Structure 1
């Protein structure tokens, strides 16, 4: 193995990585290697240059590879998958030199581009397994509660409203489609011309509104953008029922991500750490500019903790509106 590669690859994986490179490229000579950052996964992900071309080398023995990456790559939605070694947790895929998706498409075009991409995901023929979405959310909330890190009236109100959603939402209808389930900005890449979706480890058959809601929570911010987003996906204006399910799932998505942020934050502190209980005035509107300016990072306890609070506050704010009450009525 080249010295360039051996400086980065753990010794127990050296031989397996050499085999992967030889089988994929006919050489083990790597011109350059650099660690990619930005995701929340602890798995090492590298950009490697071989034969003057960039690729992504991922080492993750803790995760079972999803066959859905292959399906998404075959559909042209995910970067090409060149090699996969499930025994050693090694994969090699195409590298996307990502540009800021908001800058490339702008606020008017981005909702349509995202919706078209999600529609393409949901159109992939798949016989993959499905998960019980309601049970998954219950588990995420239970995991947060076991931490005993935050409590108070905002959380009581949030979970009370979620209980209403839980009892009314049509969890087991026929709306299940091939879904990504984690369309956050770190998984939405743009090469300057089109969108690529990466990290398919949590993909399975699911309610179509999860992908729509998650993407919208990160990229769709006005009523006009929302109309364009849904109209593109549904090939015309969304009726009241579809709009209601979408709106409700946006709040569910915010709750899910807030719980996950809190759980990540808790990992960075001792079990007996006393977390700041203040929830007042922590909003996405104030937090996003700080994140964009690099003042707050989701790789830190503070960033994860504050982002979790802002997401939960936004969900509670939305669930206090007449639109939320009307949406619950619309779904039945």
Structure 2
């Protein structure tokens, strides 16, 4: 007997869900439906057990059929073997069903050079997906985020001032108009990188579009690549041949990526700030490795104001520390001389 899930899904989506489940699973027994995410996002994600096998159903905003299929990105990524296999898609209903990946944190399976190789191969798979729809201009997007940061007055003082000043130099020298663009995920944080014990899978393709290839490389590296040896293997696996320009551009983008994530975290914190609460302006001693450990242990959560605010501070501090280095100055010179 199938599970009665009429109270699990929103009432206005139940009919479409029934169609999706019937077309995907036929007479299979649906024994469990669990809401995985929800809240502020327009999409809700459910784990479904059908005939003792797990799947994922995502309920997004229903769309009319147009040339700009909002599920086209995940469809192409699944066909390329980098997103979990797709079982059902309806743009009109805003429903997609795919295999559920029993995630084993990738750092618990791979480490060192092997981890670097696996991640670089995953990024290469993403960037090989045939897709041609561009997104927002990266430089303009960052300018918009920084303008919002200034308006919010969430942080002030020497570190934020230095970060913004150094970024202005980066903005002048980085090759934003390079036409060598690829299909980019744009948000390769650890929660979007799954591992089943062998293969790497990427989820949450909502923000994917054609973009600068170095953005994905930097995003992955900032979370997972923590030694010169790993970095060398990571870049060689991705590029094959590596030169000073590629290394320099990668390193500069690593700091741009940290600034982007810092702005995102601080924006979330600004929205979540308790009423009449003054943001703590103290920046000294808020290090990424320490905050990262607190997040990893569960002591601090990115679902909270405190977690978002502390992580934003730590990311900004790390970006500033890296932008003070000789390596960073040399990297900018390399970009400038190109």
TM tier relative to shorter chain = over 0.9
Of the three residues 58, 80, 85, the one matched with 2:85 is 80
**2:99, 2:307 → 1: CA distance?**
30
- Cα distance, 1:254 vs. partner? 0.3
Instruction: Quote the offset at 1:270 in angstroms.
Output: 4.5
Q: Which runs of 5+ in 1 are unaligned?
A: none
Q: Secondary structure of 2:30's match?
A: coil
Q: Distance in 1 between matches of 2:228 and 2:35?
A: 39
Distance 1:26 1:121 in 2: 32
Provide the residue aligned with 2:60 in structure 1: 60
Aligned-pair distance for 1:143?
A: 2.3
Deviations 1:208-260 (A, max 9, x none): 10000000000001111111100111113x21100110000000000000110
Alpha-carbon displacement from aligned partner over 1:176-221 (angstroms, at most 9, x marks no partner): 0111111000000000011000111111111110000000000001
SS of 2:88 mapped into structure 1:
strand
Q: Which residues of 2 match residues 163-202 of structure 1 at below 5 A?
A: 163-202=168-207
1:61·1:89 contact (CA, 8 Å) conserved in 2? yes
* 1:42-191 superposed matches below 5 A: 43-61=43-61, 65-191=70-196
Deviation at 1:276, TM superposition (A): 0.7
Asked if structure 1 preserves the Cα contact closer than 8 Å seen for 2:128 and 2:182, the reply is: yes
* Secondary structure at the counterpart of residue 210 of structure 1: helix
Q: CA deviation at 1:153?
A: 1.4
TM-score by length of 1: 0.94
TM-score by length of 2: 0.92
For residue 2 of structure 1, report the CA deviation from its aligned partner: 5.8
Q: 1:313 to 1:4 in 2, by over 3 A?
A: farther
Contact 1:189/1:198, CA 8 A, preserved across alignment: yes
Deviates more, 1:41-50 or 1:294-303: 41-50
The answer to whether structure 1 residue 300 and structure 2 residue 304 are counterparts is yes
Separation (CA, whole Å) in 1 of partners of 2:152 and 2:35: 32
User: Counterparts of 1:38 and 1:294 in 2: how far apart (Å)?
Assistant: 20
1:127-175 Cα deviation digits (max 9, x unpaired): 2224311111112222222222211111111011111111111111122
Q: Hey, what does 2:21 align to over in structure 1?
A: 21
